[in-house]
Amino acid sequence: MIFHEIPQRGNGIREYVEKVRWIVDAVIKDGDRALLGLTERLDGVKLDRVAASEREIEDAVAKVPRDLAESIDLIYQHLYDYHVQTKPPSQGISGLNVSVDLIWEPIGRIGIYVPKGRNSYPSTLLMTGIPALVAGVEELYVASAPSQAGLDPLVAYISKKIGVKSIYRIGGPQAIAAMAYGTETVRRVDKIVGPGGLYVQAAKLLISDVVGIDGIEGPTELVVLADDSANWIHVAQDLAAQAEHGPSSVLVLLSTSNTLLSKVEEWLKSNVSPENTYHLVKVKNVEEAIELANSIAPEHLSLHLKDAEVLYSKVRNAGVITLGNTPPALVDYCAGPSHVLPTSGWARFRGGLSIYDFMKLRPAVKATGIDRELWNAAMKLADYEGFVWHGRSIGARYV
């Protein structure tokens, strides 16, 4: 279905929270028993245990064809090298009679959710596990919905490559709840990362008071800005590519060219599934297109524009920007930045998953001398706020 207007955004994830609350409560109450029952009921797979055995993992790894393993190894090394270059250094700051050591510490225990919709998505494990590994996270745990065919071979292969402690054969809101609260088998983690559908994201929002989350990532969003310099078939193919994530994907084309819009519309009607919805919108100029894109704050923003390398600086809200004829799908697999990106408007206030999501800043402060003017200012502010002993504890050091 094709509309010629900007998509309306409703409550998004919030309206799904109550739909998953009973699942989260069941896991909190009954642990592994709830996980096994929910997996059979919701996923149609009967399990005798939650975690994959070492034998299952080894058998799955053995099924990976050599050429596919070599492709994974190549992507792995490229992504690893990229994230190494983004790792922040610990450093010292001095001056004004105060020294501060800024220490970047890795988070201790991370739970990675690998979505499994129509297919398994082992690429998500690369996009989350590698920056966690580079950050220095010591314990990684993976949860992914099971199938009758058994453990996904690439999930097993990548898990071994990055040193995952356990692979949990569970998906959906129940997997999120299990990693947040812990069960007899599932280790409670400090933070949960990974994309997923509306129910998974709602569960992440629901449990975010007890465990860290990376944000809301799903369903997929792509906004394309195109002028008459764009290759219309590439624009159409980029939209079709993101539509593969499912009918909930938000797919928008903003263009100054009626000709391009018509060609893309005709191609989409002839070449893609009718279950997806596309919004093809005519704009007066590129400035209007950028303004609309900023208001949508999409996960993916693709600039098929003549002056893309200049105009992208005007974009304020987007998870990731691809320029010119660069396919957004390249980000999904191997460009460098993680494909775990903010959706539902979260790009207004956060970026995509990065090494910073797996680290925390720990300042260590030492007063190396007495700055009477500065310390007196602090005492006056403490007094204004009614915190008498705050001020006195400062003043006692030099009065």
Return the active site residues. 299-300
Both tokens assigned to 266 = 């005709």
Residue 270 phi, psi (nearest 5):
-95, -20
Contact assessment for residue 235 and residue 226, using Cβ atoms and an 8 Å cutoff: yes
Edge to edge, the sheet with strand 98-106 lists 91-95, 98-106, 359-367
Whether omega before 219 lies within 30 degrees of 0, making that bond cis, reads yes
CA distances from 255 to 230, 274, 282, 303, 319 (A): 10, 22, 5, 10, 20
- CA neighbor of 177 nearest in space, from 163, 195, 192, 162: 192
The burial of 173, by beta-carbon neighbours within 10 Å (0-12 exposed, 13-18 middle, 19 or more buried), is given as buried
Please spell the DSSP secondary structure of 135-194, one letter per residue: HT-SEEEEE----TT-S-HHHHHHHHHHT-SEEE---HHHHHHHHHH--SSSPP-SEEE-
User: How many whole angstroms separate alpha carbon 158 and alpha carbon 238?
Assistant: 27
User: How many whole angstroms separate alpha carbon 323 and alpha carbon 309?
Assistant: 7
User: How many whole angstroms separate alpha carbon 83 and alpha carbon 131?
Assistant: 6
196: left (phi over 0), alpha (psi -120 to 50) or beta: left
